[in-house]
Amino acid sequence: MIARAAALDRRIALALALGALALGLLLPHVLYVGLATDIVIWALFAAAFDLLLGYTGLLSFGHAMFFGGASYVAGLLILRAHWSFFPAVAAAVLAATAIAALVGAIAIRRQGIYFAMITLAFGQMLYFLANQFGDWTGGQDGLQNVQRPTLIAGIRLDNDTLLYYIALAAAVLGVASVLRVVNSPFGRVLSAIRENEPRATSLGYRTSAYKLVAFVLSGALAGLAGALFVIAHRFTSLDTLDWHTSGEVVIMTVLGGIGTVFGPLFGAPFYLIINDRLSTLTTSPGLVLGIIFIIVVSVFRRGMIGELVYALRRRRHVEHVAPGA
Amino acid sequence: MLEVRELHAWYDESHALHGVGLDVGKGEVVTLVGRNGAGKSTTLKSIVGIIRKKRGSIRLHDEPIERQPSHRIARMGVAFVPEERGIYAGLSVMENLTLPPVVGASAWPLERIFALFPRLRERARSPGTTLSGGEQQMLAIARALRTGPSLLLLDEPTEGLAPSIVKAIRDLILEIKRDGITVLLVSQNVRFAAKVSDRHYLMVNGRIVESLANAQVIDREHELLEYLGV
C-alpha cells in the first residue's frame, strides 16, 4: 500500500515531466517558432518563480528585475562586446544572482504584503535606473539589433529552430534544478518554512538563510530566462523590467498551480497562446485574460495542474484510508 | 542544567510571567502544574526563545541563553514539543521525522524509533497530519528524540488522548529518563505527571508558588486536582 502510494506520486510527476517535455519537443511544429521560444522562456521564468512562491511561500512582485536585468546584461555583452552565447548567458545569470542576493538580504526580513511591496519597489528602482542611464540601456528604445551570438566557434545562432531547442535545453536544465532543490532536504525545510515558519525555527533552522538562498536561486533562474529572451528577440526593452512583467509571471504560475513546479510549465503556454490568439481578435486582450484568470482561480483554486495532481492524490488517499478507517 | 531566574515575559501586551525561577537538574523529570493561563506554556516558550519579549536570566549548562534566537537554542540541544505538536501537513511522516537537524550524540536512530512506534514506519509516506492525534504526538516526540536533545520540553503531551496512548507516552518518558535526557513537562494531568516526574512546580498567575517533591504530589493529589479544577 505504501509502496503503491509513493509509486503513484512518482508516476504523476513522471507523467507531467514527460508531458511537458513532449509538449516542448512538439511546440515549434505546432506554433510559429517565435511564440514557441517565448513559451519555453516564460515557462522557465515561471518555474523559477514557483520555487519562491510555491515552495517558500514568498510572493515576490519584483521578479522582472532579474528577468529584465539579465536581459540587459546579456544584451549589452553581445551587442557591445560581441560575447558568445555561453559567456554572455553565464554573466547575465551571475548578474541576476548578485541582484537577488542584494535585494533578498533586505526583502527577506519582511513577510507577506511587505515582502511583495519591497520587491516591487526594488523592481521599479531598477526600471528607473535603466531608464535613467540611457547611454547604456538605450532608455525608452531599449537595446535594439542585438545580433545573435555565436554558440561555439563558427556556429552563429541565426537559425530560430536551433535557438528554440537550445532554449528548451536550458529550460529543462533549469526546471530539473528546481525539482532537485524542492525534492532535497533543503527543499523540505523550505516547505516547512512555508507551512509554519516559527516551528521551523524552533526545530533548529535559521529560516532567513533558507529563504535567502531560495530567493537567490529563483532570481538566478529568472535571469537565465531573461538572457534567453534578449537572444531570442534580438532586442530587450524597459518592458522586461516593468512591474507588468512581474505580474505576468505571477498569473502564469497561479494559472498552472503554485507549488507544483510543473504547473507553471503549462500555465505559461496557456497564458501566452491565449494572449497571442486574442491579440489578433481584440484590441484589449488584457480584459479577456483577466476574465479567464478570475474564472480559473475561482473554479480551479489550486491552478490547472494543481487541481489535477490534487484529484489524483485524493483518489489515492481515499483508497489508502478506506480499509483502516 | 537549566536555571531560570526572575523571568518576566510578555504575550503581546499582557505581562504573562512575573519573575519565574526554577531549576532542573541533569537527568531529572520536572513538571510544571497549574491552571490554564498560569504561564506554564509561556515559560517553555520563553526558554526556547519563541517568546522574545522577556527579562531575567535563563541558563543552560551555565551558559546564558535568554538572548539567543530559537534556532540556536535548538542546536544547543533543547527540543520543544508544543501543545499543537507542529506536525507538517505538507511533509510525509518520514519527512517530518527527519526534518530537524541532529544536534546531540544521544540521537535516537530511526530503527529505535520504529521499534517503539511501528505505526510511524507503516505510515512513513503518508502526509504527517493524516495520523491520529495520538500518533501525531508520538511523531512529535520521536522527531525531538531523533535530534538527540539533552533537554526535552513537552507541553501537555497527553491532552485529549486515549488512556492507552497516555500510558504509552508515560512509558516513553520513563525510557527517555533512563537515557539520561532531562525533561521539563507541562501537564494538568496530575496523575500522569506523578507517575513520571521527580519534582513538580506549582504555578499561579505567572509565578511559581510551590516546589513539591513527587511524594507530596501523590499525597496531595485530591487537593491539587480540586485546585486545578480537573
Q: What CATH code is carried by the domain that includes residue A256?
A: 1.10.3470
Which of B100, B124, B125 comes nearest A204 by C-beta?
A: B100
Residue A111's pLDDT is: 87
Residue B228's pLDDT is: 84
Distance CA B177, CA B183 (A): 8
Report DSSP letters for A196-227, one per residue.
-HHHHHHTT--HHHHHHHHHHHHHHHHHHHHH
**pLDDT tens digits, residue range B139-181?**
999 999 999 999 999 999 999 999 999 999 999 999 999 999 9
**pLDDT tens digits, residue range B28-52?**
999 999 998 899 999 999 999 999 9
Distance CA B145, CA B123 (A): 19
* A313 pLDDT more than 90: no
Residue A284's pLDDT is: 82
Residue B16's pLDDT is: 93
* pLDDT average, residue stretch A240-263: 94
CB pairs A-B closer than 8 Å: 71
Which of A196, A207, A317 comes nearest B86 by C-beta?
A: A196
Which of A188, A192, A198 comes nearest B50 by C-beta?
A: A198
* B224 pLDDT more than 60: yes
* B95 pLDDT more than 50: yes
* pLDDT average, residue stretch B40-65: 95
* A5 pLDDT more than 70: no
Residue A7's pLDDT is: 57
CA-based R_g, chain B, Å = 17
Q: Which residue segment(s) compose the domain that A260 sits in?
A: 2-321
* A325 pLDDT more than 50: no
- The average confidence (pLDDT) of chain A is 91
Residue A317's pLDDT is: 60
Which of A:161-220 have CB within 8 Å of B? 185, 188-189, 191-192, 194-196, 198-199, 201-207
**Grid cell at residue A12:** 504523476
Residue A320 touches chain B, beta carbons under 8 Å: yes
**Grid cell at residue A115:** 515582502
Distance CA A232, CA A33 (A): 10
Strand, helix or coil at B2? strand
Distance CA A154, CA B214 (A): 85
* A321 pLDDT more than 70: no
Into how many domains does chain B fold?
1
Cβ atoms of A88 and A74 closer than 8 Å? yes
Residue B86 touches chain A, beta carbons under 8 Å: yes
Which of B91, B122, B125 comes nearest A188 by C-beta?
A: B91
What are the counts of helices (DSSP H) followed by strands (DSSP E) for chain A? Answer: 14, 2
Q: Which residue segment(s) compose the domain that B197 sits in?
A: 2-228
Amino acid at A300: F
DSSP state, residue A143: B
Residue B114 touches chain A, beta carbons under 8 Å: no
Of all residues in chain A, the percent with pLDDT exceeding 70 is 94
Residue B168's pLDDT is: 93
Q: What CATH code is carried by the domain that includes residue B122?
A: 3.40.50.300
CB < 8 Å to B90, chain A: 191-192, 194-195
Q: Quick one: which of A220, A224, A216 has its CA closest to A168?
A: A224
CB < 8 Å to B75, chain A: 204
Into how many domains does chain A fold?
1
pTM value is: 0.91
Residue B207 touches chain A, beta carbons under 8 Å: no
Residue A319's pLDDT is: 52
User: Could you tell me which residue, A96 or B225, shows the higher pLDDT?
Assistant: A96
Distance CA A248, CA A293 (A): 11
Distance CA B172, CA A126 (A): 58
**pLDDT tens digits, residue range A265-310?**
999 999 999 999 988 888 888 888 889 889 988 998 899 899 988 8
Q: For residue B212, what is the enclosing H or E element?
A: strand B207-213
Residue A188's pLDDT is: 94
Distance from the Cα of B229 to chain A's closest Cα (Å) equals 31
pLDDT band at residue A12 using 50, 70 and 90 as cut-offs: confident
Who's near A216: CB < 8 A, 6+ residues apart? A97, A100, A101, A104
**pLDDT tens digits, residue range A209-246?**
999 999 999 999 999 999 999 999 999 999 999 999 99
What value of ipTM does the predicted structure carry?
0.89
CB contact under 8 A, A202 and B103: no
* pLDDT average, residue stretch A142-163: 92
Backbone phi, then psi, for B156, in 5-degree steps?
A: 45, 60
Distance from the Cα of A161 to chain B's closest Cα (Å) equals 41
